[in-house]
Amino acid sequence: MSDHGDIAAFLDLGWQRLTRGVADRRAAARHPAFATVSPDGLPEARTVVLRGASRSDGTVEVHTDGGSDKIASLKANPHAQLMIWDEKPKLQIRLSTRVTIRQGNEVADRWQNVPDGSRMAYGASPTPGTVIPDAEAYTKLASRDWFTVLTCHIESIELMQLVDPHRRAVFRARDGWIGEWWVP
């Protein structure tokens, strides 16, 4: 059994590793798996870049192309889970979130900070996922109109650490992030 201070320190570790992912390109948390549910109810996961993490707001941020399939999925079901395996502390981080989709003037500040070389990730003709006759039969638009910010409001954080003995805890926003230990 561990006391409350111990579980609070475990959550601190989770946030440290998440925050590092935003600042450090080589950190494990830089590239979470981002899982959604398709409009026909099937799981779909893909790698994304972690663009923001705010402990005070309880949010993480991902940027995407507004024409990508994940947008249709999130419109049908706004829940997404982000999953990171951070090998150094042997820590798996799972964030269960509810996602707000933001575009246009609302995210003009974010677009300003996207380097020129990265802007091509936003907007494609035809739209992402369209069948094309050969691999290069598309144009990237680098378009502010397609630039989309996914603000992921964290509902729960599950941490699983492969130390001896293994430990696992779940922290929920609705409980003020107090946390409880779970059998790993």
| Alpha-carbon span 66 to 124, nearest angstrom | 10
31 sits near ligand FMN (criterion: CB under 6 A) = yes
70 sits near ligand FMN (criterion: CB under 6 A) = yes
Residue 18 Cβ vs ligand FMN, minimum distance, rounded to whole Å:
15
Residue 118 Cβ vs ligand FMN, minimum distance, rounded to whole Å:
9
Stretch that binds ligand FMN, among 43-51, 74-82, 84-92, 96-104 (CB under 6 A): 43-51
| Alpha-carbon span 136 to 58, nearest angstrom | 40
37-45: long-range contacts, CB 8 A cutoff, minimum separation 24: 37/73, 37/76, 37/77, 37/79, 38/69, 38/73, 38/76, 39/72, 39/73, 39/76, 39/77, 44/69, 44/70, 44/73, 45/83
Residue 158 Cβ vs ligand FMN, minimum distance, rounded to whole Å:
22
Q: How many residues of this chain interact with ligand FMN, rule: CB under 6 A?
A: 15
Residue 32 Cβ vs ligand FMN, minimum distance, rounded to whole Å:
9
Q: Nearest-CA neighbor of 24 among 63, 53, 59? A: 53
* Eight-state DSSP code of residue 58: T
Residue 98 Cβ vs ligand FMN, minimum distance, rounded to whole Å:
18
49 sits near ligand FMN (criterion: CB under 6 A) = yes
94 sits near ligand FMN (criterion: CB under 6 A) = no
Residue 69 or 155: the one with the smaller Cβ distance to ligand FMN is: 69
Q: What is the DSSP string of 22-38?
A: HH-TTSGGGS-EEEEE-
Interface residues with ligand FMN (CB under 6 A) are 31, 44, 46-49, 62-65, 68-70, 128-129
